[in-house]
Amino acid sequence: MIVLNLTCANSHEFEGWFASAAEFSRQAGIQLVSCPYCNDFCITRLPSGPHVKRTAVEAGKAGDVVSALIELAQHSDNVGAQFPEEARKIHYQEIEPRNIRGVASSSEVKALIEEGIAVLPLPLPPKDKAH
């Protein structure tokens, strides 16, 4: 079990106990988590606070990130060096949206973020070669 610091749309803060961070995401996604003060269903996680058992929360968080990355890597097209171009096309709706991965220099990544394009620099080296 992990303790998560949660907040509702009305900024009420409270703690929730969950089997894992992923379990919280699942329950919050289908509106099983509500604010004890106002019953609001728009619940989000706060960064860990003084009452949180830090190790448990951080372990949960790290597990989440890793599984999200693996998920992303398995369900995305490898566009290799075309990544910045493809990401822009998707952002500006020139092509069908899809998950892509590829390579981009840090300056290209910075430029994409400045244009408001959501990119996630992956720490994992791509296993397959770019096309």
Site residues (vs Zn ion, CB under 5 A): 8, 10, 12, 35, 37-38, 40
In whole angstroms, how close is the CB of 17 to Zn ion at the nearest point? 18
In whole angstroms, how close is the CB of 38 to Zn ion at the nearest point? 3
Nearest CB to Zn ion, comparing residues 51 and 127: 51
Six token digits for residue 17: 């106990």
Nearest CB to Zn ion, comparing residues 8 and 100: 8
Cα dist from 106 to 1, 35, 92, 111, 121, whole Å: 38, 40, 21, 9, 9
In whole angstroms, how close is the CB of 8 to Zn ion at the nearest point? 3
Length of the chain: 131
Nearest CB to Zn ion, comparing residues 6 and 109: 6
Q: Report the candidate in 102, 107, 108, 92 with the shortest Cα–Cα distance to residue 122.
A: 102
Do residues 2 and 37 touch, judged by C-beta distance below 8 A?
no
